[in-house]
Amino acid sequence: MRVLIADDGLTIRRLLETYLKNWGYEVVTASDGNEAWELLKTPDAPRLVILDWLMPGMDGVDVCRKVRDLPHGNLFYIIIFTSLEDKKDLVTALDAGADDFIIKSFDKEELQARIKVGERVARLKSELDSRVKELEETMAHVKLLQGILPICMHCHKIRDDREVWQQLDEYITEHTDAMLSHGLCPECYAEHYSEAEEDSEDEIKE
């Protein structure tokens, strides 16, 4: 999984990057809040994010708020990484939309455990989003075949939403995943082919 580390401190940024790479993560870095925001607003941004609270330009909490306002903002797992330790700071970060809050005087094993939690949650969010999109597509697909379809009483063409008249088989092919094959019902066979078959049999007898 890809992880974004945004911290203006070069030393701590490189330390986190080293840890995460050793734990098997692909790391993307940003040196301030503005750079982090530019990365996070792209559709393919890393879904696991570590944001330093105090950064030049835009701080981590502000970035977090802006990310949550994105159409895909709920897909991120955001960890605020800070030297601030007051409970009020924790509340502020969580209210801004952060999923976790880690003090910079962290324990390495605890950090790894929290990162793993973030990874699991981010993957679950992504999977849920994919399932929701599949369901929406399915519902939209079903909706196309519901309601009243205008059909010509003589030629049996269907009028679609574009006010275009289509053959029934064309309409079904365009609006469903069904594959059509042509056959012959008994009534049509009797109407169109029975006389020809009788004539053929008479010729054979003669």
Domains present along the chain, CATH in parentheses: 2-139 (3.40.50.2300), 158-205 (no CATH)
pLDDT at 167: 85
pLDDT digits (tens, 9 = 90+) for 84-116: 878 888 899 999 999 999 988 888 999 999 999
**Rounded Cα distance, 25 and 116, in Å:** 10
Task: Using DSSP, state whether 142 is helix, strand or coil.
Answer: helix
Quickly state the pLDDT bin for 169 (edges 50, 70, 90). confident
